[in-house]
Amino acid sequence: MKQNFRQGDKVNLIHMNETATVTRIANGMIYVNLDGDEIPVYPEDIAIAVGGSRPAERPDFKPRTDERPKEKVPVSLLVLNERGLLLIMEPFIDQEQKPALQVYIQNGFQFAVHYNIILDFSDGVNFSHNGLLAPKTKKQLFPFQEDKLNDKPNIYLSAWQQKGDENEIELRIRPTAHFKKKKKFEGFSEEVFVYEIFNEWPGRRSEIERHHISKEELEVLMQTNKIQNYDNADLKTGGIEEIDLHATSLGINEKALASGEILEKQLTAFKKVLERAIQNKRERLVVIHGYGKGKLKNEVCNILDADYSFLPYRNEYHHRYGHGATFIDL
């Protein structure tokens, strides 16, 4: 049954479990006020709230349309085609006449996403933002001058649909890899820098789908004790390679070696597998380093920064590894 919406209607946002108020109707979209933000939604994604109030019927009542002049551009903008969760950096010249980057977060999913983001620079400067991003929208966050890229910024992002479902990612931005991400992108007149955070929402695909391996092949591997679970199922399938740098997984005798010698062997194994993955044109290398004191993880990152600065990488929460793995895009 088709619903007719009017300005002032109380509506339920079906994919967000939130209630909002209709502010205007334009170009087939319903604009609603949610916690002080005006966001666009599709008519099929909302419903009149039970017990919600509607404005009294008046002959002179007319819905607000785009014909009214806008005082400012809304921070949430409609996105039609792009999927996934993205960070976008748009170049511009700031008031000091210096090159700068305006950061946006974009939600291409069909559901709302809560987020908390911190952009942290090595000199102690940081920017942060948090909020709720409606389906198919992007939001302007904060700007920074382009030369700050030399301060080795890290991005810490947490995103979730519901509390307890947080997905966290750490993204290190390095100038060499950054400038390779520039491209034409929907909604921007000039080229922008695009960072893909999640192409698919974590956990939505089964392990078998994610590894591109059949159920029958997986059962054979498990029956022959080649793997105990899915941890190594994608070594030769799906363009993804994985290495576990724990000493026991590498066959290192921890009792016979000093900690420095163990670390050296772990890093040697990492570099060997990374070179092999590059030569074999893998899509990604997953490096499992665990939690511990973070020494192994930091050394892996130092190698990537020094010798492979052209490779983007990130440390993000994953339901199999927690925060104990680094993902390198090849």
Domain annotation for the chain: domains and CATH numbers: 10-74 (no CATH), 77-198 (2.60.40.1600), 239-329 (3.30.1370.110)
The owner of tokens 């404005």 is 55
Question: What pLDDT is attached to residue 68?
Answer: 43
Lowest mean pLDDT among 140-154, 156-170, 171-185, 217-231: 217-231
pLDDT tens-place string over residues 18-58 = 788 888 887 667 888 877 767 777 787 788 876 445 544 44
Average confidence (pLDDT) over 157-181: 80
Residue 59: is its pLDDT beyond 70?
Answer: no
Alpha-carbon gap, residue 177 to 197, rounded angstroms: 15
Question: What pLDDT is attached to residue 109?
Answer: 87
Question: What pLDDT is attached to residue 205?
Answer: 37
- How confident is residue 249, by pLDDT bands cut at 50, 70 and 90? confident
Inter-residue contact 239 to 123 (CB < 8 Å): no
DSSP one-letter code for 179: G
Question: What pLDDT is attached to residue 55?
Answer: 47
Alpha-carbon gap, residue 224 to 226, rounded angstroms: 5
Paired residues of 160 in beta bridges: 114
Average confidence (pLDDT) over 121-125: 81
Element (H, E) at 92: strand 85-93
pLDDT tens-place string over residues 147-159 = 898 888 888 888 8
Question: What pLDDT is attached to residue 57?
Answer: 47
User: Which residues, including other chains, have CB under 8 Å from residue 313's CB and lie 6 or more apart?
Assistant: 172, 301, 304, 326, 327, 328, 329
> What is the rounded average pLDDT for all residues in the chain?
76
Length of the chain: 330
Average confidence (pLDDT) over 224-245: 55
Helix, strand, coil content of the chain in percent (nearest 5) = 20, 35, 45
Phi-psi category of residue 224: left, alpha or beta, with phi > 0 → left and psi -120 to 50 → alpha:
alpha
DSSP one-letter code for 230: S
Question: What pLDDT is attached to residue 192?
Answer: 93
Question: What pLDDT is attached to residue 105?
Answer: 94
DSSP one-letter code for 49: P
Q: First-to-last CA distance in the chain?
A: 49
Instruction: DSSP for 2-30, please give it.
Output: -----TT-EEEETTTTEEEEEEEEETTEE
pTM for this predicted structure: 0.48
Residue 213: is its pLDDT beyond 50?
Answer: no
- How confident is residue 173, by pLDDT bands cut at 50, 70 and 90? confident
- How confident is residue 235, by pLDDT bands cut at 50, 70 and 90? very low
Inter-residue contact 194 to 101 (CB < 8 Å): no
- How confident is residue 268, by pLDDT bands cut at 50, 70 and 90? very high
User: Which residues, including other chains, have CB under 8 Å from residue 301's CB and lie 6 or more apart?
Assistant: 172, 313, 326
Alpha-carbon gap, residue 75 to 129, rounded angstroms: 13
